[in-house]
Amino acid sequence: MKITNLIPLAALLFAFSNLTAQQNFRLVKYDLTIIGTSTLHDWETKANDVKVTGSWDNQGQLNGIQSLNVTIPVEKLKSSKGSIMDGKTYKALKSDKNPNVTFQLTGVKAITPTAKGYQLKTAGYLTIAGTKKLIDLTVDGEKLADGSIRFTGSKALKMTEYNVDPPVAMLGTLKTADDVTIEFSLTLAN
């Protein structure tokens, strides 16, 4: 067999080996909190439901993330300030027309090893209240004893960037600030 005939075969085997290295992951544990302030007090809202799907190349070492989709049902967000704040949040996020907040990974720009695991520079589309924006996100990944990886990070946003009017209560005397921070921890495993 000529060497020129082996080149397409080698390319096919290489492509197949890369496909088999990809695995779907599963969500083991999550914590996602939105933190903000108002004219009266600080507040936070926790996600009581988070769905994550995707695939990665994680064979004892994280080599890449091929896809990642995060879905947070808006009406599963619960505030520490109670149901009145929850109702204001759902209305501000237009949950009747946009029932989910989503993040869709578009790419991993870099994976850098750290003492505990990895630091990832990523990009993706964040959709809030029907407005979709491309964001950069730096995430830390910590390798856990069971082989799973806990990804943590935060992102500061302005509600108005997503066409969300900051909620107002008590006849306008309580106004939430435009700036919020989303803090998250997602533990994923093969």
Distances (CA, A) of 79 to 35, 47, 163: 10, 9, 21
In the three-class reduction of DSSP (H, G, I as helix; E, B as strand; rest coil), residue 52 is classed as: strand
| pTM across the whole model | 0.86
Residues in the chain: 190
Q: Which residue has the higher pLDDT, 167 or 166?
A: 166
Domain 23-189 belongs to what topology?
Lipocalin (2.40.128)
Range in 35-39, 40-44, 168-172, 182-186 the model is least confident about: 168-172
Q: What is the pLDDT of residue 84?
A: 85
Can you tell me the distance from the alpha carbon of 24 to that of 56, in angstroms, rounded to the nearest whole number? 6
Interval 3-27: pLDDT, tens = 555 555 444 444 444 444 789 999 9
Q: How many CB atoms neighbour CB 152 within 10 A?
A: 14
